[in-house]
Structure 1
Amino acid sequence: MANNSNNPLANLNLSGLDKLETKTVNKGFNAKFKAASFEAPVNLGVLETLAGTWVGPGFNLIEVPNMNQAKPGPPPPDKFKLILNSTAETFTFSSIGGDIINRGNAQQDIAFMGLHYLQQVDDVNLPSGQNGIHLETGLFLNLPDGTDPAVQPSIARLGSIPHGDSILAQGTFFTVKGGPQFDVADPTPFFIVNGKRQNDDSPTYLSQLTNAVPPPGIPKEVIMNPNIMLENAIKGQNIIQTVVIFLDANPVDGVATPGATAPVGGITNIPFVNVNANANSLSAIFWIETVQNPDGTTFLQLQYTQTVILDFPVFDANGNPVDIKWPHISVATLRLQETE
């Protein structure tokens, strides 16, 4: 699978099992503890099919601050800047190499498995060597149920981004027959009023979105709903099964997975990020799709949509600070690469 000489994660091993008093018999991705305290199988579950390297195109939309507070004089007319990228992405998943033990106190110990990941995203319209727009590394974990806290099995994602952000997102998963269903990924800035999303549909903000010119090859309607990219990518495909994974970190209304509420997960940033463009919420959906070709053969496809909320206040016409939430939306359609 992912353990080959071209895999940048292949030599990582954080399990440290040779130092633990409870040993495992680790046979690939289906290791089981011998100890009687771990009766349930310890495996990757739905994460097993992620192992390997995924490559494909995508789209990135981010609303960034425009020196609204730093410039002298009246606030600039454009209180934010819109950046659009047509992207090429490589997403690599690799086995940690052993089982992970969390020691219990309120309940018995738990054991689980996970994957390292490395995500690299480039802008296809920038020169090579100057086109990297995102780098992230971390872990996906297949967590078991528990009694204290009383929780159902879940997936956790722990990630670090060089801008100075660390995320912990967690959520549910399930498998369905057929293909995915996509909701609208809305890039409109918004407020939270009485716990609910309320878009700021003022012409000043909407015009920057509706009048924006998309990158070459990206349909204009994708700007107001990046999930259209995902819909277009699978038109005509025969998707026979889809594994759905929901991940949320400090979820907010109008973006989060239905039913996900704080304090699930969270994001921690360096002080510069907190002050200038505070990244404080993430919601993502991953679809692992089994696609059947006309000849009956199949291949694996990974799609995702992700929205990070940036909080940066802007000054209104009267000079008063207004705290608005700004969506940063990324989507991609990736295929698992064959290994040598």
Structure 2
Amino acid sequence: MLTKMDSLYTERYRANSRVVEIASTTDEELGPLKLLPGTWKNTDRLNGRGWNMIALPFAEEGGALDYRLLVNQFNEEIKFSLVDKRVPNRGIDIGEPGVRGDSTNTDQLVVTLDYEQMISQIAADDFPKSGLAGDPELAIHHEPGLFLHMGEPRIDGINIARLASIPHGNSALALGRFLTTDQPARIEDISGLPIGAFPAPPEGEEVDVEALLERAYLAPYKHFHDNRFEGLFDPVSPNALLNALPTNVANNTVLFLDTKLDRAGVHNIPFVERQADVSEMTATFWILELEGGEDEPELLLAYTQTVMLEFFPRRDGEPGLIKWPHVSINVMEKVEEATPEKPTMPGY
């Protein structure tokens, strides 16, 4: 016979029953992810706003360098299609030891939004020249994954997550938090220079970037710093081109994600672990609702993402390997909502 408490729990369970359906921007359960369902891409007015830099192990024939710096300009399409709502994570609070009937269920419900990302390059170059940079229209990235919005109870205020699977053989779990504001995106100035490839300056002193770039080992960075890729992109300051984001912002949802939080992390196949270990990833997404005009986009999705690759012993006297920032940035606009007729990506 069901007790009153059992009955209440059963009603709650039925009310929170799991459902998988086409995602919709009218679904309040998506929380900070509400505007994402549908297709985002680099349209004609945002053509080529994707930029990427990555250092890769490379044996230069007859040269002194053991790596090359690859830079890409790209276009992207990312589709958010299915929502899996009220995914139950079962838990229990056992209460005080020895107190009968003091335990309560502490189930957490999660809302997940799947995505698939496709990136093709417009142009690419590397230094030293390898002949491996690739041609225009080359597919350079494919990533299926999930964005998560976690309900209560939460751990340390962590309320969002991202699960990403990369064909190179990497699987990443990034945790984070979100905020909403009516202010424009605040772009942090980050360095694309490797960490541990040179001694740190004395305590209290700032890094003299121009002096640092005179070191022979950083010649690839100096090359693109002095000769901006496509006349625009400087891998020494890879976030700089995001400063052109619009300021006529009505609402701004910011997603902060980091694989170093709590028990998040990155796992790689053995070859990647031994050759260029992917150790961490941080990313910031801005979902921007604009007070635009008739010929301007209403919604923009911008991001900066830094993945750390570790290879070659550090040169600053510290233990471990050099950390090489692999930075990607982009700005896209919403072009289509997800519908039952177009839940996936037939164009790929």
TM range (shorter): 0.7 to 0.9
1:291 is matched with which residue? 290
Q: CA deviation at 1:240?
A: 2.1
Amino acid at match of 1:45: G
Contact 2:121–2:136 (8 Å) recurs in 1: no
2:117 is matched with which residue? 119
Contact 1:182–1:227 (8 Å) recurs in 2: yes
Deviations 1:60-79 (A, max 9, x none): 000111249xx9xxx95112
SS for the counterpart of 2:35 is helix
How many aligned residue pairs are there?
Answer: 285
- Looking at structure 2, the residues matched to 333 and 29 of structure 1 have their Cα atoms a distance apart, in angstroms, of 22
Alignment pair present for 1:144 and 2:131: no
Q: CA deviation at 1:113?
A: 0.9
Alignment pair present for 1:23 and 2:14: no
Kindly report which structure 2 residues correspond to 1:85-234, keeping only aligned pairs within 5 A, or say none. 85-106=72-93, 108-125=106-123, 127=135, 131-146=138-153, 150-191=155-196, 201=212, 203-212=215-224, 213-216=227-230, 218-220=231-233, 222-232=234-244, 234=245
- Looking at structure 2, the residues matched to 97 and 266 of structure 1 have their Cα atoms a distance apart, in angstroms, of 23
Contact 1:144–1:152 (8 Å) recurs in 2: no
Contact 1:87–1:122 (8 Å) recurs in 2: yes
Deviations 1:53-101 (A, max 9, x none): 1102300000111249xx9xxx951121100000100111112343211
- Looking at structure 2, the residues matched to 123 and 173 of structure 1 have their Cα atoms a distance apart, in angstroms, of 30
Deviations 1:128-149 (A, max 9, x none): 66x11111111000012326xx
Deviations 1:289-310 (A, max 9, x none): 0111236986110000000000
Contact 1:166–1:268 (8 Å) recurs in 2: yes
Q: CA deviation at 1:283?
A: 0.5
Amino acid at match of 2:148: L
Contact 1:58–1:229 (8 Å) recurs in 2: no
Alignment pair present for 1:300 and 2:299: yes
1:309 is matched with which residue? 308
2:55 is matched with which residue? 63
SS for the counterpart of 2:267 is strand
Calculate the aligned-residue CA RMSD, in Å: 3.6
- Looking at structure 1, the residues matched to 65 and 314 of structure 2 have their Cα atoms a distance apart, in angstroms, of 11
- Looking at structure 1, the residues matched to 59 and 314 of structure 2 have their Cα atoms a distance apart, in angstroms, of 11
2:6 is matched with which residue? none
- Looking at structure 1, the residues matched to 223 and 239 of structure 2 have their Cα atoms a distance apart, in angstroms, of 19
- Looking at structure 2, the residues matched to 264 and 42 of structure 1 have their Cα atoms a distance apart, in angstroms, of 28
TM (normalized to structure 1)?
Answer: 0.73
2:33 is matched with which residue? 47
Contact 1:84–1:214 (8 Å) recurs in 2: no
Higher relative contact order (CA 8 A, sep 6+): 2
Which is greater in Rg? 2
- The worse-fitting range, judged by mean Cα deviation, of 80-89 and 307-316 is 307-316
TM-aligned CA distance change 1:304 to 1:315, over 3 Å = closer
TM (normalized to structure 2)?
Answer: 0.72
SS for the counterpart of 2:298 is strand
Contact 2:18–2:87 (8 Å) recurs in 1: no
TM-aligned CA distance change 1:204 to 1:296, over 3 Å = closer
- Looking at structure 2, the residues matched to 189 and 277 of structure 1 have their Cα atoms a distance apart, in angstroms, of 13
Alignment pair present for 1:239 and 2:249: yes
Percentage of pairs with the same residue: 30
Amino acid at match of 1:95: L
Q: CA deviation at 1:286?
A: 0.4
Deviations 1:167-218 (A, max 9, x none): 0001010011121011112110013999x9x9794612433112124443x5
- Looking at structure 1, the residues matched to 238 and 19 of structure 2 have their Cα atoms a distance apart, in angstroms, of 45
Contact 1:118–1:136 (8 Å) recurs in 2: yes
1:281 is matched with which residue? 280
Amino acid at match of 2:259: A
TM-aligned CA distance change 1:152 to 1:228, over 3 Å = same
Contact 1:137–1:160 (8 Å) recurs in 2: yes
- Looking at structure 2, the residues matched to 297 and 90 of structure 1 have their Cα atoms a distance apart, in angstroms, of 19
2:342 is matched with which residue? none
TM-aligned CA distance change 1:205 to 1:181, over 3 Å = farther
- Looking at structure 2, the residues matched to 215 and 297 of structure 1 have their Cα atoms a distance apart, in angstroms, of 28
TM-aligned CA distance change 1:274 to 1:51, over 3 Å = same
SS for the counterpart of 1:186 is coil
